[in-house]
A and B are shown apart, each in its own frame.
Chain A
Amino acid sequence: MKGNDAIGEGAILAGCRHFFGYPITPQSEVTHYLAKRLPEVGGLFMQAESELASINLVFGAACAGARVMTASSGPGISLMQEGLSFLAGSELPCVLVNIMRGGPGLGNIGPSQADYFQATKGGGHGDYHTIVLAPNSVQEILDMMKKAFDMSDMYRMPVMVMADGIMGQMMEPVVINEEKSVEIPPRPWATIGRDYHENRNEINSLFVVLEEMEEVNLRLLHKYEEIHAKETLCEEYMLDDAEVALVAFGTVSRICRAVVDKAREQGIRAGLIRPITLWPFPHDVISRIAKSAQCFLAVEMNMGQMFEDVEIGAKGRAPVYHYGRLGGMVPLAKDILEELKKVSKRRGTGR
């Protein structure tokens, strides 16, 4: 199955029956897949006139209590940022998928991880976070869609599944675990008409009284702290005796795993930390490894974005280096290995 198709099928398996979106490469196959597949399961696929409309159609469907999603790539995700902020402020659940491409601007359609900052550090206005999941295989995409919907429901907030163009376009064999029935939690807050629930519901992100706004902000903060404590996910590979800890997510994490094996063959004790949740970021794992490893090497398809989170986690206990390819280019295993050899001999932090 192709990664983009797995996004669609994973959403259907998760009980999602509403999709609103706009085509953009390298995400378009998600729309193709769901345009065919959703009507087969009694769902609705609707192509909007823009990503601006898409995210607000998602907003409306979420208000009505639906499991709903959209998918796009960088330029489209940028247009959705206002909506994301409103979804976060109104505490509405939904799932977004970003199949990242090269940027800034129109950039290109090559694979990239350049939207890390936008996804994990806000993107829209105001004080909020989005849960960001980073799969590294088609099977994981398929399984992660359910997790994304469940988390968005549990915490009443948008969840983003973020992958690069390779993940979207790649084909891999998958096992589909079809659950008999998906349980969608009740939504007593939804605006579905007063005949259908007890209280009058208002979905809103406007709080003109400053104290009220601060109360909302504090409630969000506590929610985010709980998510950090409970939901941070990370894969660790060969770290027990590692001198150099590679840190990578998505496609790059797979290349890095091969690099770790290769390095070990050559007598270099390398390991790999793969953050699965980019927000919340596994800072604690980085902190723990910083006690035993000599240094970190963050490998990304950007100028050094996750790199900053690795530095936060390392707390200056171990130097953090960065190796990145830009513009839609993918780092090669041999180049990462060269870099790994270099940093294992270096001291001090840097890119």
Chain B
Amino acid sequence: MKKITARPYSLRDIPFHYCPGCMHGIAHRLVAEVIDELGIHGRTIGISSVGCSVFAKHYFNVDMIQAAHGRAPSIATGVKRVLPDRVLFTYQGDGDLAAIGIGDFIHTAYRGEKITTIFINNTVYGMTGGQMAPTTLIGQVTKTTPFGRSVEINGNPIRVCELIASVEGVAYVERVSLHNPKEIIKAKKAIRKAFEMQLNGIGFSLVEALSACPTNLGLSPLEAVKWMEEKMIPFYPLGVYKSPAGGGLSA
């Protein structure tokens, strides 16, 4: 029998702790496959953040650092400035990157640090039990917005790709989704491109991956996918927001 697929070398042989229907596992695998394909396993260092993805430090088969909440881009910068020939990626959720860590994120982007950020946006805090995220949609019910997120009380959701698309020093920005195989294939291409930007020394690169958290949405995995298609993607349009050749949205 011919073996047609296997666990990427850059993922360790450890069971994921993620909930059923969670898309962290998919994102982990895509990043690991890209690291394998680019042949950068031995010089890649990953930074995991705080939230459900804190355990990413355990799953990737590369040197890993576990950061304080929101600080992954600064830590990645610290490593990169000492070892400019290494490949650095941060793996951050929406609370980590867009709430507590948005200062570190924006300044890292403006400095044009040659690192790659994988940003998982599922519109909700997973680890702490389903509270509002900066990316929670208007009207979305969470533990801390029991009557739905309101603009008056909570302000507007942050669209991260749009926020940094105009920033000099940023090489590549793309928003992808992990809700079906077609989009997952696109997501992998985007992640590969983001790493290539770093390898070519062009600048900071970001891939925002839309993802579902069925546990905290109170939906089945399938219902959560439908929710993403109907609610999330219309508010967070997919596509390339910045690339060196220029050009804006090309969804």
**Which residues of chain A have a CB within 8 Å of any CB of chain B?**
18, 20, 44, 46, 48-50, 52-53, 56-66, 68, 82-83, 86, 90, 191-196, 200-206
Contacts and interface: CB of A to CB of B under 8 A. Distances in A.
B74 A60 contact: yes
Contacts of B68: 56, 59, 82-83, 86
Given A191-B64, A202-B64, A18 B104 contact: no
A203 B67 CA distance: 9
B43 A60 contact: no
Contact of B83 (A49, A64, A83, A205): A64
Contacts of B81: 18, 44, 46, 57, 60-61
6 contacts: A90-B66, A192-B63, A193-B63, A193-B86, A202-B65, A206-B54
B198 to A, nearest CB: 14
Contact of A60 (B57, B64, B79, B107): B79
Given A18-B81, A53-B107, A192-B63, A59 B86 contact: no
B105 to A, nearest CB: 11
B139 interface: no
B4 interface: no
Contacts, number: 122
Contacts of B45: 63-64, 191-193
A62 B78 CA distance: 8
Contacts of A191: 45, 63-65, 79
B75 to A, nearest CB: 4
Interface of B: 41-45, 54, 57-58, 61-68, 71, 74-83, 86-87, 103-104, 107
Contacts of B74: 48, 53, 56-57, 59-60
Contacts of B42: 193-196
Contacts of B43: 193-196
A82 B79 CA distance: 19
Contacts of A196: 42-43
Q: List the 5 closest pairs (A to B, CB-CB), nearest first.
A: A60-B78, A195-B42, A56-B74, A64-B82, A191-B63
Given A56-B68, A194-B41, 4 more contacts: A64-B78, A68-B82, A83-B68, A201-B64
A289 to B, nearest CB: 42
B66 A192 contact: no
Contact of B75 (A50, A63, A200): A63
B82 A65 contact: yes
A200 B82 contact: no
Contact of A61 (B62, B71, B79): B79
Given A65-B82, A83-B68, A60 B77 contact: yes
Nearest to B80: A60
